[in-house]
Structure 1
Amino acid sequence: MIVRDFHDLKNSPRAVSDARWTSVRMLLADDKMGFSFHITTLEAGSEHTFHYKNHFESVYCISGEGSITDLATGETHEIRPGVMYALDKHDKHTVRAGKEDLVLACCFNPPVTGTEVHQADGSYAAPETAA
């Protein structure tokens, strides 16, 4: 059994920050669960474009409000507490946080290691395969 406290992890190396967002990695690839689980906070008023070409992601809104736009179709959906979205086609998308921080629970498959950095196109590199 794995038990971790967000409050302990938010000031640890498992808390990764970049341009106006922070992601606390609760589960990572080395936990061997087959997915990673993160609590991600997007700063109020911020906008982020991502394209997880090598990962599937599902996201559940815990608090705050914002929107997500599918950049292939231009379709925009509102995000608020209780809303979930899944990037089942490796969708390139833009997420916007509203007037408050947007707090999201995120799962990645395959799991991330915790050391990834967003590439110029908004993706993470493909996970290395075991030899």
Structure 2
Amino acid sequence: MKVVSLEDVLGTEHEVDGENWISRRLITKKDNMGYSVNDTIIKAGTETHIWYQNHLESVYCIKGEGEVVTLSDNKAWPIKANQLYALDKNDEHLLRAKTEMRMVCVFNPPLSGREIHDENGVYPVDDSE
């Protein structure tokens, strides 16, 4: 059994500032759960290019308002509190935050905890044991 509080992560190496977002990695690869869980703040008025070529992600919005634009078809998906979106096809997208958004993000394969987007919006795969 493991219990993690947000306060356990704040100010540690598992609180990652990506400029447009701050991700607090609650469950990571080392926890051996087969997925990772992040509590992420998306800063108001930002647009972030993301393309998880190596990961699938489900995102549950618990606060705020914005939109996801899938770049393959330029379709805009409004997102608000109490909605989940799943990037089930490694969708390249833009995340636009109208207001500050708070998200719970689940990744498969799990993140190791320190990842940031590269120039293409991709997280690398951590193949270490």
TM-score after normalising by structure 2: 0.95
Q: Deviations over 1:62-120 (max 9, x none)?
A: 1000000000011111110111100110000000111x211000000000101223111
Which residue matches 1:101? 100
Q: Tell me which residue corresponds to 2:26.
A: 26
**What 5-or-longer segments of structure 2 have no aligned partner?**
none
Q: Whole-Å Cα distance in 2 between the matches of residues 20 and 106 of structure 1?
A: 15
Pairwise CA RMSD = 1.2
Looking at structure 2, the residues matched to 5 and 106 of structure 1 have their Cα atoms a distance apart, in angstroms, of 16
Q: Does 1:64 align with 2:64?
A: yes
Gaps of 5+ in 1: none
Moved segments of 4+, more than 6 Å: none
Aligned length: 129
Output one character per residue of 1:2-23: Cα deviation in whole Å (capped at 9) or x when no partner.
1011123122221000122100
Q: What is the DSSP-based 3-state SS (H/G/I as helix, E as strand, rest coil) of the residue aligned with 1:4?
A: coil
Percent of aligned positions with the same letter in both sequences? Answer: 37
